[in-house]
Structure 1
Amino acid sequence: MTGRDGMLRGLGLDDPQRENAVLLAIIEATANGPGVEPLAAAVAKVITDATATDVCFVHVLDDTDRSLTLAGATPPFDAQVGTVHLPFGQGVSGWVASMRTPVVIVDDKRSDPRYLPIPELRGEDFTSMVSVPMTSEPAGLAGVLNLHTRSRREFDDGDVRFLLAIGGLLAGAVHQARMHRRLRTREQAHERFSEQLVAAQESERGRLAREIHDGISQRLVSLSYHLDAALTLVDRDDPRQARADLESARDLAGTALGEARTAIGALRPPVLDDLGLGGALTALARDLPVEDVRLELDDERVPEHVEVALYRIAQEALQNVQKHARAAAVAILLEIAGDQVRLSVSDDGVGFDVSPLGPSSGGYGLASVRERADLIRGTARVESRPGSGTTLTITAPLTSPNDEESAENTRLSVTE
């Protein structure tokens, strides 16, 4: 039987009041906290208890938005939570996620071309299954909800509609939980980065202090000594020796001036003030010991903190080219479009295997590159493989968080 009565009998619900009780239990489960896994586990138990099914799996869209991860399951499969991953398009759940369409298999799963056995979930132990997408507006797809029974079960249209309603409730809660997790992860990353930034600032101050003490200060002391000696020799009417001391003093003054400029350049490259980011990148390219250098550089000015970060990243990337790449050609691209800037540094050198280099890796100076990209709320992507060169791409917004918040408030005011 189809329709509402069929739905109740098909899922083991006795009347509309019990159906409403199930929906209420789902709502209460979704209100228990922001964690995705506890939420999925609670909902899985509510659904199996209410529908007299044997097992429920809640597969949640992961942060790549291209695969599913088992986030909740009824025992004994709760031990597999977080270990089962299903790419879009693979298996029944992957097909449901990709097509946003429910699937019912009453029996003989192996005859369905979409079915893919997952040993950890022991699909062969169950006869019938129904799989529905968990979707909501405006969040979209949040995952896939699966119910299985050992005995043969006819899941009709009413059953599917009811499970879609549950999936819609769960999708909104999962979306909120994912956003909460991402926000918390970002906050933790910002906290760690703030600590690293303070440490880096103190380290940089200490380095500059040592350079000034060991370099500039010592040169100035020697300069003062030679000037005093020259004055004494002038008084003694010894111009030849006085001239020698003055020449030494002049050389020391030139050395001290060069060291002072180096120290100032470490704080902020003067070339940025004189030429802007495009001109500064051109100046960096001139120093490359590479015959073929291609430049595509927008000459618009960008915020000062973005200029400094991108310049330092380019410096690091080009130093890596010189040290490691053995390249014959280098390309530097700076593109400014709308409220975004993109910097790309490519070479045709030896390349390297990026797969072992995670987000925290310091290989090839990538750790400092990623840290500088984080400073300007940007992203760093490295593409390389042995023998095929390397491309580093930095993409960053040109607006500050305050600008974005102000724009959002303005938009809301206009909307309201």
Structure 2
Amino acid sequence: MRDLVEADRELALLRELIQAASNGPDVEPLAAAAARMITDATGTDVCFVHVLDDSDSSLTLAGATPPFDREVGRVRLPLGSGIPGWVASHREPVVITEQKESDPRYVPIETLRDSGFTSMVSVPMETEPGGLVGELTVHTVERREFSAGDVELLLVIGRLIAGAMHQARLHRQLVGRERAHENFVEQVIEAQEIERRRLAGDIHDGISQRLITLSYRLDAATRAVAADPGEASVQLAAARELVDLTLQEARAAIGGLRPPVLDDLGLAGGLASLARSIPQLRLEVDLTETRLPEHIEIALYRIAQECLQNVVKHARATTARLSFSVHEEAARLEIIDDGVGFNMLEHPLGIDETAGYGLLSMSERAELVGGRLHIRSRPGSGTGVTATIPLPATRD
């Protein structure tokens, strides 16, 4: 009879979880409902549900039973840190009956006041199509011997939640990408207009004025040919100088629209030329000589250009390493500096007064060609930026 009652209670829990999962695609409401249901079903005092963030490098508290629900979104754990991080990275459950502080994997989380609990079980949340999704932990104030059945029930719940969480994460990422794409399109249009105005101004103030002056010089030389050959030579020499200056300005204007070095030298040569143009940094380069589709070469060149500008402007770095390689049908560009770095948990895309807006722009540029930008940084330990872009199945 006890087994039948227990089975009935577990079925009721699964029905509630399915109902919660069908209510909407948001991660937090599902995690909050799951935390409440899990504590009811397992007779525990509190439940924390951590979800893997989009960078796959840390866990974020997505759901918790009151009063800890106010910490949702505020608590983050690097993957591998603490018992939840260890469970997520190793994908194995952990059961601790008492004295969890003596476990070398244990890291106290002050805001969750987990030191006030005695026994705990932590299990990974995995789903077959999406892999690791997160981790859930239950705690009890009183000492409790968790059975193998308790752990199995939590693993089953974790797998069930993981499927819904995976769908919710995909939905959130899709919405985020759509918004980023809309913002990027707006920025591209605005940048085009700014660039057109700048180019028109450069042509009017530079090239056009020099051509007018050139015309005057040639007229003066024409008049002086018969009367004063020496003056004609002076005017023609000045005209030649104006032609050279105008040609340089025209090339600079063209280079602002599309880097001609890519046509002449390819991406590797273009990156090497870019590195030589930055005397403020001691740059090490490791570049693979290979040609890529034009739109990918332009994207990677612009990412490198903007990243190095950020290093010069904000990182206060002395050395940096620029590498470009192609392997497993993907192009990989990486720039690592020894600068001041920044806090990834507080500013995952470096959007603050020290890192500027460039990292977000680079991320959007990589996503526009189907790639991904990965950023890793710590205060005082420099910053690494890696752009990975998949390549077409057939390429030159």
Q: Which category of TM-score, normalised to the shorter sequence, fits these structures?
A: 0.7 to 0.9
In 2, the alpha carbon distance for the partners of 1:195 and 1:203 equals 12
- Kept in 1: contact 2:373–2:386 (CA 8 A): yes
* Equivalent of 1:75 in 58, 66, 70: 66
1:258 aligns with 2:252: no
Residues 225-374 of structure 1 mapped to structure 2, 5 A cutoff: 225-232=216-223, 237=227, 239-284=229-274, 296-314=286-304, 333-344=323-334, 351-355=338-342, 358=347, 359-361=349-351, 367-368=357-358, 371-372=361-362, 374=364
Aligned pair partner of 2:199 in 197, 205, 208: 208
Indicate the SS of the match to 1:60.
strand
Q: Report the secondary structure of 2:25's partner residue.
A: coil
Distance 1:143 1:285, change over 3 A: closer
Q: What is the alpha-carbon distance in structure 1 between the residues aligned to residue 112 and residue 274 of structure 2?
A: 57
Partner residue of 1:396 out of 377, 388, 391: 388
Asked if the contact 1:370–1:379 (Cα under 8 Å) also holds between the matched residues in 2, the reply is no
TM-superposed deviation, 1:173: 1.1
**Residue 379 of structure 1 aligns with which residue?**
373
Q: Which moved more, 1:203-212 or 1:62-71?
A: 62-71
- Deviation for aligned residue 1:273: 1.8
Q: Give the Cα separation in 1 of the matches to 2:358 and 2:131.
A: 36
Q: Could you tell me how far apart the structure 1 residues matched to 2:204 and 2:80 are? A: 64
Distance in 1 (CA, whole Å) between partners of 2:311 and 2:68 is 50
1:137 matches 2:128: yes
Deviation at 1:248, TM superposition (A): 3.4
Per the TM alignment, residue 24 of structure 1 is displaced from its structure 2 partner at its CA by 1.0
Find the counterpart in structure 2 of residue 59 from structure 1.
50
Structure 1 residue 165: Cα displacement: 1.9
Shift of residue 367, structure 1, vs aligned partner: 4.5
Q: Give the TM-score, by structure 2 length.
A: 0.77
Q: State whether structure 2 residue 175 is matched by structure 1 residue 175.
A: no
Question: What's the secondary structure of 2:387's corresponding residue?
Answer: strand
Distance 1:330 1:353 in 2: 12
Q: 1:28 aligns with which of 5, 16, 19?
A: 19
The code of the aligned residue for 1:379 comes to L
Q: After superposition, what is the alpha-carbon deviation per residue over 1:322-345, rounded to whole angstroms, capped at 9, x for unaligned? A: 899796x88654323343233456
Distance 1:152 1:382 in 2: 40
* Structure 2: gaps of 5 or more residues: none
Which residue identity does 1:395 align to in structure 2? Answer: A
Deviates more, 1:189-198 or 1:166-175: 189-198
In structure 2, what is the Cα distance between the partners aligned to 1:291 and 1:98? 37
Name the SS of the counterpart of 1:209 in structure 2: helix
Structure 1, 202-211 or 83-92: larger mean CA deviation: 83-92
1:135 alignment partner, SS class: strand
Local SS of the residue matching 1:134? strand
**Residue 78 of structure 1, CA deviation:** 1.7
Deviation at 1:200, TM superposition (A): 1.9
Task: State the distance in 2 between where 1:137 and 1:43 align.
Answer: 20
Do the aligned residues in 1 keep the contact of 2:180 with 2:364 (CA within 8 Å)?
no
Match of 1:44 among 35, 40, 58: 35
Q: Which has the larger radius of gyration?
A: 1
Residue in structure 2 matched with residue 147 of structure 1 by the alignment: 138
What amino acid maps onto 2:292 in structure 1?
V
Worse-superposed segment, 334-343 or 69-78: 334-343
Please say if residues 50 and 136 of structure 2, whose CA atoms lie closer than 8 Å, have aligned partners that are also in contact.
Answer: yes
What secondary structure, in the 3-state scheme, does the structure 2 residue paired with 1:353 have?
Answer: coil
Number of residue-to-residue matches in the alignment: 385
Q: Deviations over 1:158-190 (max 9, x none)?
A: 333333222221111112222222222232222
Question: How big is the shift at 1:137?
Answer: 1.8
Q: Partner residue of 1:191? A: 182
Distance in 1 of aligned mates of 2:383 and 2:119: 50
- Partner of 1:177, secondary structure, is helix
Distance 1:397 1:249 in 2: 48
Q: Which amino acid aligns with 2:259?
A: P
